[in-house]
Amino acid sequence: MRLDRFLAEMNQGSRSELKEWIRRGRVLVNGQPETRPERKILTETDEVFLDGRRIFYTDLEYYMLHKPAGVLSAAEDKKRSTVLDLIEEKKRKDLFPVGRLDLNTEGLLLITNDGGLAHRLLSPKSHVDKVYYALCAGQLPEDAKDRLQKGLVLPDGLACLPAKLVRLTKEDRGGFGDLIEWETIKDRVRMQRKEPGELLFSEEEQMEEVLLTIREGKFHQVKRMMEAVGCPVLYLKRLSMGTLRLDASLKPGEYRPLDTEELELLRTW
């Protein structure tokens, strides 16, 4: 691999910047100054230093992000902040979010540059469960669970794969009590409902708390499905994806690298 490409892939600067820095003698290869951007290096054995700091080659990266509301699930955007803006320690420029969460949806988002894993996790053929918590307005109809389990056809004609619905109570949090604390949810809803003309959160409202498990990820799918059964979503959070469960210690906007066990389990898909 070319020296300038190696440094660019490790997110050390643009190719033009790096070529200039190399020519100025800011880079050492195996302890010796190297001024040729085209110098071929072996990523596994050659030691590369930029301004006295060793640059290690990383092929694939995996991060668990607790996506906050108001941040785009995109690699880049000219107007809004994106989920990649939150990953401060990334070494590579080719990272991307695996799937998308709506702008105001919170929760688990995997950030990686492993295209093969991303494809397997997102393909409906892989049957990867994605579990969402939804706080919904109104009362859940008696037939909602059966309709979702059989596979909804949305008003626009979109056919959805069968989904699993579980109604929650304040006492029974469906095994996700550490991720869906009621007081925290109330605060989130208040924060998201401050647009002109919107009512602030009131516990007198008729509401339902549910877990919805789906195996696909179409545009606004969870919100559209719950709207179709008569319970519009007030707040939405993704809790898990396949074997990967959101770390309860991560606050919105925080992230961490996947540990070895999490990564090995994900790679079984």
Q: Which residue would you say has higher pLDDT here, 187 or 48?
A: 48
Residue linked to tokens 């919170």: 106
pLDDT tens-digit series, residues 160-182: 999 999 999 989 999 999 999 88
Q: How confident is the model at residue 187 (pLDDT cuts 50, 70, 90)?
A: confident
Output the pLDDT for position 188.
Answer: 79
Q: How far is CA 145 from CA 15, 45, 161, 252, in A?
A: 54, 57, 13, 30
- How many degrees, rounded to 5, is the angle at CA 188 between CA 183 and CA 194? 130
Residue (of 206, 227, 97, 53) closest to 152 by Cα position: 227
Output the pLDDT for position 185.
Answer: 87
pTM recorded for the entire structure: 0.83
Residue (of 257, 235, 254) closest to 244 by Cα position: 257
Residue 85 scores a pLDDT above 70: yes
Distance CA 130, CA 220 (A): 14
Output the pLDDT for position 204.
Answer: 57
Q: How confident is the model at residue 90 (pLDDT cuts 50, 70, 90)?
A: confident
Q: How confident is the model at residue 213 (pLDDT cuts 50, 70, 90)?
A: very high
Q: Where are the alpha helices (DSSP H) in 123-234?
A: 144-150, 182-192, 221-228
What the chain holds in terms of domains, given with CATH numbers, is 3-55 (3.10.290.10), 62-263 (3.30.2350.10)
Lowest mean pLDDT among 32-36, 183-187, 214-218: 183-187
Residue 30 scores a pLDDT above 80: yes
Catalytic residues: 102
Q: How confident is the model at residue 203 (pLDDT cuts 50, 70, 90)?
A: low
- How many degrees, rounded to 5, is the angle at CA 151 between CA 182 and CA 134? 10
Output the pLDDT for position 202.
Answer: 63
Contacts 24+ apart (CB under 8 A), 21-28: 21/50, 26/50, 26/51, 27/3
233 membership: H or E segment, kind and range:
strand 233-241
Residue 10 scores a pLDDT above 90: no
Residue 98 scores a pLDDT above 60: yes
Q: Secondary structure of the chain: what % helix, strand, coil (to 5)?
A: 25, 25, 50
Residue (of 179, 184, 186, 188) closest to 246 by Cα position: 179
Lowest mean pLDDT among 51-65, 140-154, 200-214, 223-237: 200-214
Burial class (CB in 10 A: 0-12, 13-18, 19+), 248: middle
Mean pLDDT for 152-164 is 95
What is the average pLDDT value for the chain, to the nearest integer?
Answer: 92
Mean pLDDT for 25-38 is 97
Mean pLDDT for 60-71 is 96
Residue 121 scores a pLDDT above 60: yes
Grouping H, G, I as helix, E, B as strand and the rest as coil, residue 4 is: helix
Output the pLDDT for position 149.
Answer: 97
Mean pLDDT for 112-132 is 94
Residue 201 scores a pLDDT above 80: no
Output the pLDDT for position 191.
Answer: 73
Q: How confident is the model at residue 194 (pLDDT cuts 50, 70, 90)?
A: low
